[in-house]
Amino acid sequence: MNLLVLGGTQFVGRHIVEAAVEAGHSVSVFTRGVSPDDLPPGVTRLRGDRDGGLDALRDGSWDACVDVSGYVPRVVRQSAELLRGRVGRYLFISTVSVYAPGPRDWTPEDAPLQELDDPATEDVQAAYGGLKVLCERVVNEVFGERATHVRPHIVAGPWDHTRRFTAWPEALAAGGPVLAPGDGSDPVQYVDARDLAAFVLRLLTDGTPGTFNAAAGSRSWHAFLNGVAEGVRSQSELAWTPAAELAERGLGWAEVPLFVPRALDVTGLMRVDVSWAERAGLRCRPLEETARDTLAWSVTRPAGERPVPGILAAREAGR
């Protein structure tokens, strides 16, 4: 397969490129050339800017395109329309943050989606999920049955620059008591970037249309932290802290990443249904393996790229 990746040098895109090369596919990446690039040999680099600088994409054809860097519908339309006749399938990396609040036990792909009050906004930070909804619609409009959407959960694994998952194996590996959120019964989900990459390639190889949530199955925080601890061989004591106390202390997502109390999870973020994806070929490795490999990668990073996990700082502040 001849594959074009819009993006491809960081985290999710990097794993997709590496998996495609390892599988024997021919890969081209379209980037600005700003991020560090140590992709595998043989990857073709195309330079440009997604917003008005697409000259490098005006020639050539590809069996499929993976869009890992589309956040604004106006910009996504530029690449989609330019590639319409020269790409077999256009796979858009969306997000599980597209779903609107609503009373439901689980969040399937056909759950209601967010609708922006101002569809013309391009404030990605404030309107991330709603803009991804509009981007999906653009891709559907341009590619029709040749469109595929993957909605990943919070992504974990080596090269996780967000550190949302990485903070937990680091904190547990550090030893000593670790702040644990709630009473252990709240749900939590994530997806390993390598499993996400393998799923993307499976969808493209099979030519599968449609929309798919991509996540490991939802589990309790008790099971999650015990799995991470086993993966990094931690003997740390878990200091379970009620959600109300965390709120009183001003400890939110930055200090206790991935934690959304069930009572506040109005979009079902941590209860995403992945049955469609599993039927289409999604397979997720054990949590212990993700935790172990993420820590092994993280300890190789320069000290400046490894801040003390906010979980530990929060624990110290509560003493």
Same domain, 141 and 185: no
Same domain, 254 and 132: no
Same domain, 166 and 296: yes
Tell me how far CA of residue 141 lies from CA of 70, 76, 152, 211, 298, in angstroms: 15, 12, 21, 14, 41
Same domain, 124 and 259: no
Q: Is the dihedral of CA 275, 278, 282, 287 positive or negative?
A: positive
Give the per-residue pLDDT at 315.
Answer: 65
* Residue 207 placed within a domain: no
Strand-strand pairing, 26-31 and 2-6: parallel
More confident residue, 161 or 100: 100
Same domain, 117 and 184: no
Domain encompassing residue 299: 158-189+217-272+285-317
Interval 14-51: pLDDT, tens? 999 999 999 999 999 999 988 778 899 899 999 999 99
Domain C-terminal end among 99, 125, 152: 152
Adjacent-strand bridge partners of 93: 150
Same domain, 118 and 244: no
* Residue 280 placed within a domain: no
Lowest-pLDDT range, 71-85, 122-136, 159-173? 159-173
Q: Are 158 and 293 spatial neighbours (Cβ–Cβ below 8 Å)?
A: yes
Give the pLDDT band of residue 159 (cuts 50, 70, 90). Answer: very high
Query: pTM value?
Result: 0.96
Domain C-terminal end among 152, 178, 197: 152
Same domain, 96 and 142: yes
* CA–CA gap between residue 69 and residue 46 (Å, rounded): 15
Same domain, 28 and 124: yes
Same domain, 111 and 243: no
* Residue 196 placed within a domain: no
Residue 27: CATH number of its domain: 3.40.50.720
pLDDT at 293 over 90: yes
**Domain count for the chain:** 2
* Residue 202 placed within a domain: no
Average pLDDT of the residues of the chain: 95
Closest CA to 171 of 244, 257, 243: 257
* Residue 92 placed within a domain: yes
Same domain, 76 and 133: yes
Residue 229: CATH number of its domain: 3.90.25.10
Give the pLDDT band of residue 314 (cuts 50, 70, 90). Answer: low
* CA–CA gap between residue 210 and residue 67 (Å, rounded): 15
Interval 26-36: pLDDT, tens? 999 999 988 77
